[in-house]
Amino acid sequence: MSAQGLPSVLAFERYDPTDASLDWLRERGVNVIFGNALWEMPFERFTEDELIAKAHGCVALMGASGTRITRRVMQALPDLRYISKYGIGVDSIDIDAATEHGILVSSTPNDFQIFTVSEHAVALMLAVAKQLGTWTPDFMRRGGWRGLTHGATLRGATIGILGLGRIGRGVAQRLSGWEARIVAYDPFLKEAPEGIELVDFSTLVEQSDFLTLHATPSPDNHHILNAAGFAKMKPSAIVVNTGRGSLIDYTALRAALANRQIAGAALDVFDQEPPKTDDPLFSLPNVLCTPHVAAWTTEGTQAIGWHAAKNLWAMMSGEGHADIVNPQAKQRRSAPLLSDV
């Protein structure tokens, strides 16, 4: 609680540049403490110790995936009751620990993320296929004209999708008219939507010309694409990752790209975020990178900000709906916070 008796919330990572959703919470009597802005350069993430110090006395945390909320953080914040996550994935939060401590966790599964991330994945496929990282204005300024590099086409290609959740299906839907064969691996599905062929993981990596990753991170799929997987891929294959960095063994990826074991990669997520500026990936000619911005649109960031704010208000007040990922934590809490004050 704040000194004024209002419940304090630390928005340790601010997502919506307008901050209108955070102002909305303040209007409802919530003491919102501003943390780091995701759009500021250079972006600084909180360490565990910094997060604990900044959030002392707070009943809630709001943020994206830049800072991990671990068991140690939760144990050090006895007042913490809610975590409102920006985005769909909650792999940056120890959900088991949250549930044990009676801390409700919410996320923001909404259509904006499906649309924007699906589009970004397709855009990255096309950008690598069309060699847009090579044929640039700088290339032209240096007198470049064509050369031996050739583009590829999605028509007739086999596009592999790892994970057929909402975004994986969104990618498939957007590619449905491209005259490509679409295969997918998802161990939780027994049948796929029309136009998609379910295959095992070995077949996925062996046959894909483009492999795009959209699985929800878990211990079971940590580094699912590793040196063994790259060894099975076509030398002409291209890997696209707009999911999570944990899905790929990036050390093996760097080696596969440097050795031309695969043709290229387009990456929006990394094993370390932000990545080191001297990461070898940035000097490889067969790599395109974006800074974890697949869901980064004006409408999208505002929609996710509002979704997270309304999730938090619903959890705190009991009013409205919250997209809670660990409802069993409610058993540890007898009532919403604002019904007690």
- Cα separation, 247 vs 156, in Å, equals 27
- Selecting among 292, 299, 319, 333, the annotated active-site residue is 292
Contacts of residues 46-54 at CB distance under 8 Å and 24 or more positions apart, as own/partner, are 46/12, 48/72, 48/73, 51/10, 51/12, 52/76, 52/77, 54/10, 54/12
166 catalytically annotated: no
- Selecting among 100, 222, 273, 333, the annotated active-site residue is 273
- Cα separation, 138 vs 285, in Å, equals 14
The DSSP secondary-structure symbol of 276 reads: P
- Selecting among 45, 81, 244, 307, the annotated active-site residue is 244
68 catalytically annotated: no
Can you point out the beta strands (E) in 259-328?
Answer: 264-267, 287-289
Q: Which contiguous run of DSSP H or E holds residue 31?
A: strand 31-37
Counting every residue written for the chain, the total comes to 341
- Whether residue 109 is preceded by a cis peptide bond, meaning omega within 30 degrees of 0, is no
244 catalytically annotated: yes
Q: Which residues are catalytic?
A: 244, 273, 292
